[in-house]
């Protein structure tokens, strides 16, 4: 597995409230997380920092588990611990009242993985020349679109498209969306804040993810550049994980 992570303040904001982390567990699993903070008086960056600090500490101590169900419960507990850290700070310090953050976290081996998320930061998987959005935005307009009250085009341009229906740290209890995914050689996973997904067309993201002859770091740089070219009116953060394709020998086997 290869990884890359990039974050940029953008062209408009005075503070970067996004945070990201990639790392490896003691058992050799690849982990990544992105958080996009919210809150007045610079509280958004506090929320995202607390969340990523909690997640990275927990994931860096992840030990092997015996079943997929156990792994799901453990990842859920890790995200809820991050929720508790942010909520406690928001509850005890008036300047951080009602702060919160989105979060997407991925935990992968070379066959499968887990994705956990809260909010509207996203995870995409690129496979076989196609891109698939793995997460479902926890936003008001997405709920309206899913119920048929808005078209997808109307939702994309709605003035309240950034209103979250669920965030990490704003409440003592929160529901975490979890899903299992499979991984195949050549797959690439993109985790990003809405500074990318809300500004850059999915076809352009796919084109960048599929471009041959570039490194994973260069792909990350290009994704950031696309968001800035599109206006850069928000912080933008990307974390990439690539499952390298197996090298085939002349006799058709693998080394």
Given a cut of 80, whether residue 161 has pLDDT beyond it is no
200 domain-assigned: yes
160 domain-assigned: yes
197 domain-assigned: yes
User: Distance between CA 203 and CA 199 in Å, rounded?
Assistant: 12
Regarding predicted confidence, which is higher, 149 or 226?
Answer: 226
User: Residue 142: which pLDDT band, with cuts at 50, 70 and 90?
Assistant: low
255 domain-assigned: no
User: Residue 150: which pLDDT band, with cuts at 50, 70 and 90?
Assistant: low
203 domain-assigned: yes
170 domain-assigned: yes
Angle 75-79-83 from CA coordinates, rounded to 5°? 165
Contact call for residues 27 and 61 (beta carbons, < 8 A): no
Q: Which residues contact 78 (CB under 8 A, 6 or more apart)?
A: 54, 55, 58, 59, 105, 116
Q: Could you report the per-residue pLDDT of 131-140, keeping only the tens digit for each? A: 999 999 998 7
Regarding predicted confidence, which is higher, 152 or 4?
Answer: 4
User: Average of pLDDT values for 73-90?
Assistant: 97
Q: What percent of the chain has pLDDT over 90?
A: 80
Q: Which CATH number is 66's domain given? A: 3.60.40.10
Given a cut of 60, whether residue 76 has pLDDT beyond it is yes
Q: Could you report the per-residue pLDDT of 177-229, keeping only the tens digit for each? A: 999 999 999 999 999 999 999 999 999 999 999 999 999 999 999 999 999 99
What is the DSSP code (8-state) at residue 255?
-
Given a cut of 70, whether residue 248 has pLDDT beyond it is no
Angle 156-158-162 from CA coordinates, rounded to 5°? 85
248 domain-assigned: no
The number of distinct structural domains making up the chain is 1
Range of the domain at 161: 2-242
User: Distance between CA 171 and CA 165 in Å, rounded?
Assistant: 12
């Amino acid at each position: 597995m290869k990884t890359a992570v990039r974050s940029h303040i953008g062209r408009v904001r005075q503070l970067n409230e996004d945070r990201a982390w990639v790392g490896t567990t003691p058992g050799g699993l690849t982990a990544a997380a992105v958080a996009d903070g919210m809150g007045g008086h610079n509280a958004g960056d506090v929320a995202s920092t607390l969340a990523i600090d909690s997640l990275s500490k927990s994931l860096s101590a992840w030990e092997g588990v015996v079943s997929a169900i156990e792994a799901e419960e453990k990842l859920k507990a890790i995200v809820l611990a991050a929720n508790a850290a942010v909520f406690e700070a928001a509850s005890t310090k008036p300047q951080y009242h009602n702060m919160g953050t989105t979060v997407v976290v991925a935990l992968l081996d070379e066959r499968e993985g887990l994705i956990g998320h809260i909010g509207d930061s996203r995870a995409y998987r690129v496979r076989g020349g196609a891109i698939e959005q793995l997460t479902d935005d926890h936003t008001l307009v997405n709920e309206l679109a899913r119920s048929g009250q808005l078209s997808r085009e109307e939702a994309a341009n709605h003035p309240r498209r950034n209103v979250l229906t669920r965030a990490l740290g704003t409440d003592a209890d929160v529901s975490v969306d979890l899903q299992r995914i499979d991984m195949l050689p050549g797959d690439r996973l993109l985790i990003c804040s809405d500074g990318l997904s809300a500004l850059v067309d999915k076809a352009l993201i796919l084109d960048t993810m599929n471009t041959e002859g570039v490194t994973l770091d260069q792909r990350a740089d290009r994704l950031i550049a696309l968001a800035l070219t599109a206006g850069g009116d928000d912080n933008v953060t990307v974390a990439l994980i690539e499952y390298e394709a197996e090298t085939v020998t002349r006799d058709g086997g693998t080394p």
